[in-house]
Each structure stands twice: as structure tokens, then as C-alpha cells.
Amino acid sequence: MNILVRSSGFLTSVQDLGRTGFRQSGVSVAGALDPHAMRVANALVGNEDNVAGLEATLGRVRLRLEDERLVAWCGGAFNVRVNDEDLPPGHACLVAKDDELLMIAPSAGSRAWLAISGGIDVAPVLGSRSTDLRGNFGGHEGRNLRDGDVLALFKERRFLNRRPDKNGDLEIAAPWISKWSAPAPWASIARRDRFLRIVRGANWDRFTPEALISLVTHPFSVTADSDRMGARLDGPELTQIDPSDLLSEAVGPGTLQVPPNGKPILLLGDCQTIGGYPKIAHVITVDLPIAAQLWPGDAVRFHEVSLAEAQDLLREREEDFSRFRVGLSLHAQ
């Protein structure tokens, strides 16, 4: 069965958790800019973590499904409706054949991740179905979606047990929205008070004491020349003690680089694999969902934590997600 893209929005693409294991060959990770949101949405509809879904950026996305499916989404403050029913973030929804799903641009944040039971059936490239928009491969024809595109879906694994009631009717019939949901901080990620926790980068000591203080005490604003590769930030100039050139080294999503103009760049999922700008810091993994919601004009602040704290926060989230998976399994019985 298929999804018909009636309206593709500003920038919508097929994404999974990304393309790993090829960075030494210069291949970016790509994938959902918020892999955790993609995992949560997939869990809500009974998919495995790495099943391909959609990443929507702003815009007005309208989809029609050719058969009954479960859908769920997480992300910014989008207004999402199935026909005339509001679909809150972090809830599973049973959508009937020929129903329409509409995603309207958010009042806060910029991106959302939509999972559909069974997942989107596109050919894997280097082990991933994600779209590399800079390399023009993977996903649907290596590009963002356009009006009129048709996406195939895999056969779903039925997640909800639908037993007949005393009248012989099914207890669950579309359209149906679950009363249970994902934890609110996972489902709705958009925040107006954007604090990103960081750990020190390899080149922290190349910067002046004044620059290091400015990094954690002054706000930075996201500039218009930002994309899935990175968010360019405007704010106090981060001056280096030693401005000499560096050899290019590995970088990744979350790396905070500082070019010669002293204005930092926060790298995101489509970032290059190596870079020669000094790495002043790295945004910790559990805060990458907040970074993925940044949009031109947004303000962001940084707060330093230790590497041990960052590891503890990630470990805690993974343990919580495992318990969340177990809890969802009870709804399939």
C-alpha cells in the first residue's frame, strides 16, 4: 500500500536513524535530526527503532493513506489533524483507508517526525533508507518530497489487539487516538528557553578566557544561513589565543566549531565528516533534540557539564526508553 503526498510542505524527506559506519569514507550520517523523536514515534506505532518515516520542516504537509495504518508524531508545536480530529504529539492514531493527515507549520520549533506502522519502503543505500540531501541519494529519489509523490509502505505488523466486543464489533475502529502517550518532553520538543548543555571540545584551550566566559553567559541567535548541515550562530565573538591553522579532524552532529570570524557553527545531522575549524565544545547527545528545533531568529544559550554527567543523562534516557517500550507492549496484548 502507498501514501499519496498531496502537499509536501517546505522541506519533507524520508529519514531513519541515519547512515552509520561510512564516515571514514566521507559519507555523512544524515537521518532524522532528532533520532530519539524518530525512535519514540516508531515505538508508538509498533515499529522497530530504525524504520523509515518522515521528517517535516515547517510547511503544510498533507498525506492520504491507501489503507488502515497506525501513525504517530513527535517534534515542534505543529498542528496535526486526521480528517477533523486533532492528533496530539506522542499519541498513536489508527487512520482509516483514504483518511487525510494534515501537518500545519508550528508555532514553536521547526521540525516534526512522523512514523507510520510498517514503515516507508524505499531502497536502502549503504544500509540506510535516509535521504542525504547534500549527496542526492537515499530516501525517495535522493531528494525532498514533492506534491504528487507516492511512497510505498511495508506490510505492517499488527500492533494493537482488536478483539470483538459483545456485539461483534471491533473494540478499536478508525479514527481512533490512544489515551496513552509518550512522555511529554519526548513528544513535544519545542522550547522557547533553549539551553544546550555542552562538554569541552578538543580545542577549548585555544580560546581566550573572555571567549570561554562569553560562550556560557551570553545568548546566541540562529542566523538565516542555517540548514540540516548546521546552525550558524551570531553573538559575542569567540576569540582564539592561537589563530594558527589546524589539521582537519573528525567532527559530528553536536560539534561546535568556530571559524576565523569568531561566530560558532553548531553542526547537525548532514554535517561534513571532517573539519579544520577549532572545536570549542560539543552539545551532549540528549540535547540534540533541542538543537534540531532551532530556526533562524531563535536564541540559544550554552551550559557546561562534565563528560560523566553527559554519559549519565544518556544512560538514564536509554533506560527510560527501554521501560517505555515495555509499557507499550502491554497495549498490544
pLDDT in tens, 136-189: 999 999 999 999 999 999 987 666 555 444 444 445 555 689 988 999 999 998
- Model pLDDT, residue 164: 44
Closest by CA to 287, choosing from 54, 34, 42, is 34
What is the C-alpha to C-alpha distance for residues 159 and 38, in angstroms, rounded to an integer? 17
What is the C-alpha to C-alpha distance for residues 190 and 197, in angstroms, rounded to an integer? 16
Q: What is the pLDDT of residues 37-76, one digit of tens each?
A: 999 999 999 999 999 999 999 989 999 999 999 999 999 9
11-15/100-104 β-pairing = unpaired
- Model pLDDT, residue 243: 84
What is the C-alpha to C-alpha distance for residues 46 and 178, in angstroms, rounded to an integer? 13
- Model pLDDT, residue 171: 52
Closest by CA to 38, choosing from 100, 136, 116, is 116
- Radius of gyration of the chain from Cα atoms? 21
- Which residue has cell 553567559? 217
Helices 35-44 and 307-329 cross at an angle (nearest 10°) of 10
Give bridge partners of residue 129 from the DSSP assignment.
Answer: none
Contact 60, 105 (CB under 8 A): yes
Contact 303, 199 (CB under 8 A): no
Rounded to 5 degrees, φ, ψ at 42 are -65, -40
The CATH number assigned to the domain with range 195-313 reads 2.40.100.10
Average pLDDT by stretches of 10, the chain with 333 residues: 94 96 91 97 95 94 94 95 94 93 91 96 97 95 97 80 46 72 91 86 96 97 94 96 88 96 96 93 96 94 98 98 91 61
What the block records as the C-alpha cell of 144 is 525532498
Give bridge partners of residue 4 from the DSSP assignment.
Answer: 64, 150
Residues carrying CATH 2.40.100.10, the chain = 195-313
What is the C-alpha to C-alpha distance for residues 210 and 218, in angstroms, rounded to an integer? 11
Contacts for 315 with CB less than 8 Å, ≥ 6 apart: none
What is the C-alpha to C-alpha distance for residues 75 and 53, in angstroms, rounded to an integer? 13
Contacts for 90 with CB less than 8 Å, ≥ 6 apart: 40, 44, 72, 74, 181, 182, 183, 184, 186, 187, 188
What is the C-alpha to C-alpha distance for residues 129 and 48, in angstroms, rounded to an integer? 14
What is the C-alpha to C-alpha distance for residues 109 and 130, in angstroms, rounded to an integer? 22
Distance of CA 18 to the CA centre of its chain: 11
- Model pLDDT, residue 173: 55
What the block records as the C-alpha cell of 101 is 493527515
What the block records as the C-alpha cell of 140 is 525517495
| Alpha helices in the chain, H assignment, sequence order | 35-44, 184-187, 209-217, 288-291, 307-329
